[in-house]
Amino acid sequence: MFEITRIENFSPTTFLWEVRAPEIARAARPGQFVIVHCDETSERIPLTIADFDADAGTVTIVIQAAGKTTLDMMAYRAGDRIANIAGPLGQPSEIENFGTVVLVGGGLGVAPVYPILRALKIRGCRTIAIIGFRNESLIFWEGRFRDYSDELIIVTDDGSYGEKGLVTQPLKRLITERQIDRVIAIGPLVMMRASAETTHPFNIPTMVSVNPIMVDGTGMCGSCRVSLGDEVKFACIDGPDMDGHLVNFDELIIRQRRFVKYERQSLQLHEKKCQK
Please indicate, yes or no, whether residues 105 and 200 belong to a single structural domain of this protein.
yes
Please indicate, yes or no, whether residues 64 and 115 belong to a single structural domain of this protein.
no
pLDDT tens digits, 168-200? 999 999 999 999 999 999 999 999 999 999 999
pLDDT band at residue 210 using 50, 70 and 90 as cut-offs: confident
pLDDT tens digits, 9-29? 998 888 999 999 999 999 999
Q: Is the pLDDT of residue 39 over 80?
A: yes
Provide the CATH number for the domain around residue 7: 2.40.30.10
CA Rg value for the chain: 18
How far apart, in whole angstroms, are the C-alpha atoms of residue 199 and residue 205? 8
Please indicate, yes or no, whether residues 65 and 17 belong to a single structural domain of this protein.
yes
pLDDT band at residue 238 using 50, 70 and 90 as cut-offs: confident
pLDDT tens digits, 62-84? 998 877 788 888 889 999 999 99
Question: What is the span of the domain harbouring residue 108?
Answer: 100-209+252-256
Q: Is residue 30 part of a domain?
A: yes
pLDDT tens digits, 128-144? 999 999 999 999 999 99
Domain count, the chain: 2
- The pTM of the whole model exceeds 0.85: yes
Q: Is the pLDDT of residue 47 over 80?
A: yes
Q: Is the pLDDT of residue 273 over 90?
A: no
Mean pLDDT (the chain, rounded)? 89
Please indicate, yes or no, whether residues 22 and 74 belong to a single structural domain of this protein.
yes
Please indicate, yes or no, whether residues 73 and 126 belong to a single structural domain of this protein.
no
One-letter amino acid identity for 257? R
What are the C-alpha distances in Å from 176 to residues 17, 133, 171, 179, 192? 39, 23, 9, 8, 19
Q: Is residue 263 part of a domain?
A: no
Q: Is residue 235 part of a domain?
A: no
pLDDT band at residue 269 using 50, 70 and 90 as cut-offs: low
Is the bond preceding residue 46 a cis peptide, omega within 30 degrees? no
Q: List CB contacts of 218: < 8 A, sequence separation 6 or more.
A: 89, 236, 237
Percent of the chain surpassing pLDDT 90:
64
Q: How many CA atoms lie within 13 Å of 184's alpha carbon, on the beta-carbon side?
A: 27
pLDDT band at residue 239 using 50, 70 and 90 as cut-offs: confident
Please indicate, yes or no, whether residues 104 and 195 belong to a single structural domain of this protein.
yes
End-to-end CA distance of the chain: 30
Please indicate, yes or no, whether residues 59 and 116 belong to a single structural domain of this protein.
no
Please indicate, yes or no, whether residues 61 and 144 belong to a single structural domain of this protein.
no
Provide the CATH number for the domain around residue 113: 3.40.50.80
Percent of the chain surpassing pLDDT 70:
89
Please indicate, yes or no, whether residues 83 and 105 belong to a single structural domain of this protein.
no
Q: Say what the pLDDT of residue 216 is.
A: 65
Of the candidates 66, 89, 112, which is a domain's last residue?
89
Q: Is the pLDDT of residue 51 over 90?
A: yes
Please indicate, yes or no, whether residues 64 and 9 belong to a single structural domain of this protein.
yes
pLDDT band at residue 98 using 50, 70 and 90 as cut-offs: very high
pLDDT band at residue 225 using 50, 70 and 90 as cut-offs: confident
Please indicate, yes or no, whether residues 104 and 203 belong to a single structural domain of this protein.
yes
Q: Is the pLDDT of residue 255 over 90?
A: no
Please indicate, yes or no, whether residues 177 and 104 belong to a single structural domain of this protein.
yes
How far apart, in whole angstroms, are the C-alpha atoms of residue 36 and residue 28? 15
Q: What is the dihedral of CA 70, 71, 73, 76, to 10 degrees?
A: 170
Mean pLDDT of 108-129: 96
Q: Is residue 107 part of a domain?
A: yes
